[in-house]
Amino acid sequence: MLYPRRCPICADIAMPKGNLACDICRERLTYVGEPYCMKCGKPIDSFEKEYCYDCTHKRHHYVRGRALFVYDDVMRKSIAGFKFHGKKEYARFYVDEMCRGLGEYIRYIAPDYILPIPIHKSKLRTRGFNQAELLARGLGKRLSIPVLPKLLIRNRKTAPQKELSDVERLRNLEKAFGLDKRALRSMAGVRRVMLVDDIYTTGSTIEACTKLLMAHGFNEIYFISVCIGKGY
Ligand SMILES: [Zn+2]
Ligand SMILES: [Zn+2]
């Protein structure tokens, strides 16, 4: 290899050399452990509970989802490097860890296809890649599940979501996604798919894509993400 690998956590050369991440840095990562929400996979604060605050208060149409890391400051920095500073190579570490931590879960679900959450083409142009597609392709290859990156499309840029209420946010997002007609035809008979994204926070992106897919005959939608917010 010409260039030594950068650690997705400290952004320096991963030590010992040849590793995907530094041994020392790995200790700073917070993996989602039990108890976690049975619906969205967010870590929760009690074994007495089944669902997180969000999932007790609103209905999500996907079957369920899981995530690997808690979206804390360490992961925030890592994902920012990955998405906004061209650190494509971090995908390999995320995929590796997802296979280790969630591979069994994904095999158990056995989705017919893995679908990355799309980004708008103007973003694709500036970023050069869709982070979710890199993750989906990596997972698909490792777990031998077909990936269809062309089915979901991002029609338009979404207005800044911060000032919007949950309902407005979802409505706004629902209009932002579409399905590619040709790809859709190739999926006749497919019912179970798994969406892939880098971060799950409010779940509105996953929900918007789920509702769109369900309106077109897919009836079991799962998701998986690299990181997720806390559910309490
Ligand atoms: Zn490091
Ligand atoms: Zn939840």
Taking the C-alpha atoms of residue 50 and residue 177, their distance in angstroms, rounded to an integer, is 31
20 CA from centroid of ligand 2 (Å): 30
Q: Which residues surround ligand 1, an ion (CB under 5 A)?
A: 7, 9-10, 22, 25
Residue pair 110/129 in contact (Cβ under 8 Å)? The answer is: no
pTM above threshold 0.85: yes
> Tokens in use for 158?
């979404």
Residue pair 100/132 in contact (Cβ under 8 Å)? The answer is: no
Taking the C-alpha atoms of residue 191 and residue 130, their distance in angstroms, rounded to an integer, is 25
List the pLDDT tens digit at each of the 232 positions of the chain. Answer: 567 899 999 999 999 988 999 999 999 999 999 999 999 999 999 999 999 999 999 999 999 999 999 999 999 999 999 999 999 999 999 999 999 999 999 999 999 999 999 999 999 999 999 999 999 999 999 999 999 999 999 987 666 667 778 778 778 888 899 999 999 999 888 999 999 999 998 899 999 999 999 999 999 999 999 999 998 8
16 CA from centroid of ligand 1 (Å): 9
Q: Which residues surround ligand 2, an ion (CB under 5 A)?
A: 37, 39-40, 42, 52, 55
Residue pair 213/219 in contact (Cβ under 8 Å)? The answer is: no
230 CA from centroid of ligand 2 (Å): 9
Strand 64-70 and strand 220-228: the pairing is parallel
CA 35 to chain centre: 20
Residue 154, strand partner residues = 177
Q: Taking Cα atoms as reference points, which of 139, 148, 137, 29 lies closest to residue 95? A: 139
CB neighbours of residue 76 within 10 Å? 12
What pLDDT does 178 receive? 95
40 CA from centroid of ligand 1 (Å): 29
Alpha helices in 59-177 (DSSP H): 73-84, 90-109, 121-127, 131-143, 166-174
